[in-house]
Structure 1
Amino acid sequence: MAQPSNNSVGVDNTFRRKFDREEYLERAREREQKETEGRKSKSKGPPVQRKPLKHRDYEVNLQSRLGKTQVVTPIAPLSQQAGYFCSVCECVVKDSANYLDHINGKKHQRALGMSMRVERSSLQQVQERFEHLKKRKDTGSFTEQDFDERILKQQQEEEERKRQRREKKKEKKREQTAEEETIDDPDVAALMGFGGFRSSKK
């Protein structure tokens, strides 16, 4: 029986990847050092203070371009391209739903200088708001007399509209009869080419 020699190769399990721990530790130290330097350079400037969210002081008009046609050219400036133009962010949004999402979104609010947080109200502010709404409700309450006056006013407006419609119909009828009378004239009918349509029976 042949004895195995000590020089025999055997199983090769050197295919597994070997990592140099020192090299990777050095890389991690360099990365941490760069991150701390970056944080220090960012913190040199004053922190940005953004105002809390507040109500819009203008009304969003989404119906301004409803039913209008527009020629789309690639060389037109952004404000004249098809869609809704945001002058704050200088971008064009293609439809009204996306435009509404954009102006309520984070990017637009940050450009306006606001954070996405809402200011917390104090107890005193809430009580003042309730008092304000209560006063407004008291002054805006309707009596039966006010209600009757409003109904009477609406009825008068409806009657006025009906009267205007009747007048328009009468005006149209007058115009039609005037046109028919001009056509009934045999000379005018002959000029217009209607002379051959009459029957010869009497």
Structure 2
Amino acid sequence: MTGKGSAYGQAAGDTDFRKKYDVEEYAAKAREREAAEKEERKARWEAKMAGKKYYKPMDGSETLTEARNATKDYSKLIGTTTLVPAGAGVGKRGRGAGFYCAACDLTFKDNLQMLEHENSPQHRRNIGETGEVRKATAADVHARIERCWQRLQERQKEQVISLKERLEVRKEEEEKERGEKRRKRKEAEERKRLEKEAALKAKTDYGEDVRIEGEHDEDDMMAAMGFTGFGTAKK
């Protein structure tokens, strides 16, 4: 049937959903990448023969190196699991089991090696830094000292406030503990008073023969042992 079409109103045989690629463009990119890798391998070999360390050449877009303003916290990785891709390398080159640096394509077995690598010129070059620091002026030094002084004053103020708060909280806790002890002592005294009043009322109502709990324990024990009394015999 020649008039048969698709859901979009077009002939089913005339629709091609496959993405078109420019073969020449990707081939040119591949040639450029291979040429750059070949040039890098040559530069690495020349540096190795000269007894020097190879660094990535700068293209002018690098920035100056600045101090890290955050602490590297590796403790959050404790107990976590990382998936290692199939065919991962055993040495440092490539992604493997350990701490991986994507900028340098290197894997390190412990955090100390990783931290040393992040401070190395090689890593700094690969992340777009020159490895040089900006020379500080007198105004920068004064501003840094002022910031440090302000931070120190704030910390001391926080310590004073926190110490005062801790003392107040401790004072309230001690007051609550003393109040609780007074309450328990009053309850015990009131309970003893009620028990004593109940015993006196029982003796008044039923006479002296009524037995109060704990009153005749000593006499009962002596009777059970066969002692009837310690009176002297009459002569």
Asked which structure has the greater CA Rg, the reply is 2
More strand, by proportion = 1
Length-normalised TM-score, structure 1: 0.42
Greater RCO structure (CA 8 Å; 6+ sep): 1
